[in-house]
Amino acid sequence: MKYIVTLRDKTYEVEVEHGEAMLLDEYEAKAPVPPAAAAPAPMAAAPAAAAAAPAPVAAGDGTPVVAPMPGNVLKVLVKPGEAVTEGQTLVILEAMKMENEINAPSAGTVKQIVADVGSVVATGDTLILI
């Protein structure tokens, strides 16, 4: 299957077959101009994308622990109200078939779990608030 992904003002055309991804093309992103006939299709896909994205978080709610890369949340190892130490592993994030440990940037108490297990996150998305 071919996918077109836009990240940070760059668009990538990627082909995935049998679990292997291959970059076909990379170019500067342009503002999309939706064709009149195809407009209903993206609208139908929007609720599914919104359900997968983590909820927006107000900046004053605590110290955010953000995803350093796009990926899938495999495990959340802490619960709200739990005390954590600096460097403690909070989340296991799967990216490019590798499990990556996301650690606490500082000691504190978990205020909120923003990204649920199974959710897809982008670079910079908030995972947890400390």
The CA distance from 74 to 124, in Å, is 17
Is residue 24's pLDDT more than 70?
no
Contact 42, 48 (CB under 8 A): no
Q: Cα dist. 108→11, 57, 63, 64, 66 in Å?
A: 38, 18, 9, 11, 16
pLDDT at 49: 47
Question: Sorting pLDDT into bands at 50, 70 and 90, what band is 50?
Answer: very low
pLDDT at 30: 59
pTM for the full model? 0.54
